[in-house]
């Protein structure tokens, strides 16, 4: 049974570690879309791993819950405790150091509080690429990215966060420190606790530092926005591109016309250079070696795709400014969605071949619940769609509060039926605990609960996230 984080507990912590605590700011307990507000007695801001360990030991001794804070950009409530005993919030905002750069090894060692954009910049300073890229990279912290196994735009080529991590340092629930910052590609010495902690959303420990995998920077990059007849044609275009340019496709994003209409409604300054607006389109980026001319490679791909009836129109960026403008379209879609206000948002993944049938099937099923605007977009290259359901013009999501659960269940039941996942890249947090129980494999859930009980018997680590408390 957890206890609330009391003034007496905070006083003792402050006396033992002067300057450790700060007051809770609004940003610490607010969800990015404004749907929930969490709680916390104070925020502990340790300066190093030893202080993190001391905080965890104190909370364990007092049975006080700890809610880890990264950049606060999570969309499933993993950083917000809504009820129960008031927890201590723990932020690694002071732990932002670069611990080492090894260009010959393609490795960067950083503390978990470093913002993702700064990780990317540190890699660029040694002429390397750290390819994890998210819309929130200016505020998301790398520890949170790893804790949630964040995906993003470049998973097709480089993998998820777990594929970009070679080693971890972390504080476990008993306050012991896991010293796992090895920079090895091969280390077959028993259970890989790194992969257990990545994606655990702070429920099994606090990630304090990471050894990150870097890549050579592409000599040239080229981006195109291509109108396609259908999602099936988009998949065939992906297969064509992979056949011609295997390993060189950095991103392959599917965009529905509804995205462009939301941009026109909320962010008219974000121009879409296709007229008329296509029902479906693809944003594709190639990262190429010196031997391949970028515009010629994209133009040749377009020509063959056009001959096969896979594309109908398109724009190929001819400069860095044009490339940035095309990416701005894709990166602005989540903000446009936020301004419209979704009734229910779904971060799903599907077998690639199931996607063309899923989209009309889900739309038809939802039509049985009412009239909606559906914005389907996302990372087609890795099967991850953001399938979001919005009210019709003149109505707001508040008008459909009583239908939110039915809409979500309708979509998720179809996803599960075709062998997909109801959480592709955002995690479980607290929002999807019920979904995990509904759709999760019973043997997997039993193993997860056993691991949680073994490592965190007091239940202090991010209580109520991922697994019901």
- What does the pLDDT read at residue 35? 79
Q: Distances from the Cα of 321 to the Cαs of 74, 136, 317, 367, in angstroms? A: 30, 21, 8, 41
Inform me whether the pLDDT recorded for 469 exceeds 80.
no
DSSP three-state, residue 53: helix
User: Higher model confidence: residue 371 or residue 32?
Assistant: 371
Q: What percent of the chain has pLDDT over 70?
A: 100
Per CATH, the number for 341-426 is 3.30.70.2740
- Residues 232 and 134: their CA atoms lie apart, in Å, by 26
Closest CA to 142 of 192, 209, 76, 193: 209
**What pLDDT, on a 0 to 100 scale, did the predictor assign at position 149?**
97
Mean pLDDT of the chain: 96
User: Could you say which architecture CATH assigns to the domain 220-336?
Assistant: 2-Layer Sandwich (3.30)
**For residue range 434-458, what is the model confidence (pLDDT) as tens digits?**
999 999 999 999 999 999 999 999 9
Integer Cα distance of 204 and 13 in angstroms: 22
Question: Where residue 135 falls among pLDDT bands split at 50, 70, 90?
Answer: confident
- Write down the pTM of the prediction: 0.93
Judge whether residue 143 has pLDDT over 90. yes
Q: CA–CA separation, 59 vs 57, rounded Å?
A: 5
pLDDT tens for 304-331 read: 999 999 999 999 999 999 999 999 999 9
Q: Which residue has the tokens 């008219």?
A: 268
pLDDT at 173 over 80: yes
Q: Where along the chain do its domains lie? A: 98-216, 220-336, 341-426
Per CATH, 98-216 and 220-336 having the same topology is answered no
pLDDT at 75: 86
Average pLDDT over residues 14-27: 96
The secondary element (H helix, E strand) that includes residue 280 is: strand 280-288
pLDDT at 162: 97
The predicted pLDDT at position 32 comes to 85
Return all residues near 365 (Cβ < 8 A) that are at least 6 apart.
410, 411, 414
Stretch 411-427: mean pLDDT: 97
The 10s digit of each residue's pLDDT in 270-294 is 999 999 999 999 999 999 999 999 9
Asked whether the predicted pLDDT for residue 400 surpasses 80, the reply is: yes
What are the backbone dihedrals phi and psi of residue 193, each rounded to the nearest 5 degrees, phi first?
-70, -20
Write the pLDDT tens digit of every residue in 177-216: 999 999 999 999 999 999 999 999 999 999 999 999 999 9
pLDDT in tens, 22-80: 999 999 999 888 778 999 999 999 999 999 999 999 999 999 999 999 999 998 999 99
Return the structure tokens found at 233: 């044609």
What is the CATH number assigned to the segment(s) 98-216? Answer: 3.30.465.10
CA distance 369 to 410: 9
Question: C-alpha dihedral over 439, 334, 429, 88, to 10 degrees?
Answer: -170
Integer Cα distance of 91 and 382 in angstroms: 32
pLDDT at position 33, please?
80
């Amino acid at each position: 049974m957890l206890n609330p984080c009391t003034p007496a507990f905070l006083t003792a912590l402050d006396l033992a570690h002067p300057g450790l605590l700060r007051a809770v700011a609004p940003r610490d307990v607010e969800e990015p879309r404004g749907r929930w507000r969490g709680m916390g007695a104070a925020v502990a801001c340790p300066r190093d791993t030893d202080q993190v360990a001391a905080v965890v030991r104190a909370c364990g001794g007092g049975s006080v819950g700890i809610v880890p804070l990264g950049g606060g950009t999570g969309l499933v409530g993993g950083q917000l405790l809504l009820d129960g005993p008031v927890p201590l919030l723990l932020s690694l905002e002071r732990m932002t150091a670069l611990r080492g750069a090894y260009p010959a090894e393609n490795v960067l060692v950083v503390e978990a509080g470093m913002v993702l954009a700064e990780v990317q910049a540190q890699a660029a300073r040694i002429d390397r690429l750290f390819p994890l890229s998210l819309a929130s990279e200016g505020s998301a912290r790398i520890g949170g990215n790893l804790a949630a196994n964040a995906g993003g735009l470049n998973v097709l080529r480089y993998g998820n966060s777990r594929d970009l991590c070679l080693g971890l340092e972390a504080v476990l629930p008993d306050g012991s420190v896991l010293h796992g910052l090895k920079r090895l590609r091969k280390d077959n010495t028993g259970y890989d606790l790194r992969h257990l902690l990545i994606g655990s959303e702070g429920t099994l420990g606090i990630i304090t530092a990471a050894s990150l995998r870097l890549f050579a920077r592409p000599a040239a990059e080229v981006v195109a926005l291509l109108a396609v007849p259908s999602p099936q044609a988009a998949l065939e275009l992906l297969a064509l591109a992979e056949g011609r340019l295997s390993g060189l496709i950095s991103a392959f994003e599917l965009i529905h016309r509804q995205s462009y209409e939301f941009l026109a409604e909320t962010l008219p300054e974000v121009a879409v250079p296709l007229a008329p607006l296509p029902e479906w389109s693809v944003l594709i980026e190639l990262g190429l070696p010196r031997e391949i001319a970028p515009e010629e490679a994209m133009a040749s791909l377009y020509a063959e795709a056009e001959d096969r009836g896979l594309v109908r129109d398109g724009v190929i960026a001819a400069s860095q400014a044009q490339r940035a403008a095309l990416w701005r379209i894709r990166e602005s879609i989540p903000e446009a969605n936020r301004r419209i206000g979704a009734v229910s948002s779904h971060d799903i993944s599907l077998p690639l071949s199931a996607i063309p049938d899923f989209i009309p099937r889900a739309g038809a099923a939802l039509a049985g619940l009412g009239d909606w605007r559906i914005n389907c977009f996302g990372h087609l290259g890795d099967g991850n769609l953001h399938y979001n359901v919005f009210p019709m013009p003149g109505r707001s999501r508040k008008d459909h509060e009583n239908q939110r659960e039915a809409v979500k269940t309708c979509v998720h039941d179809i996803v599960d039926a075709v062998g997909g996942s109801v959480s592709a890249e955002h995690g479980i947090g607290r929002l999807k605990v019920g979904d995990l129980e509904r759709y999760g494999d019973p043997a997997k859930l039993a193993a997860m609960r056993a691991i949680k009980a073994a490592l965190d018997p007091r239940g202090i680590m991010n209580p109520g996230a991922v697994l019901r408390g």
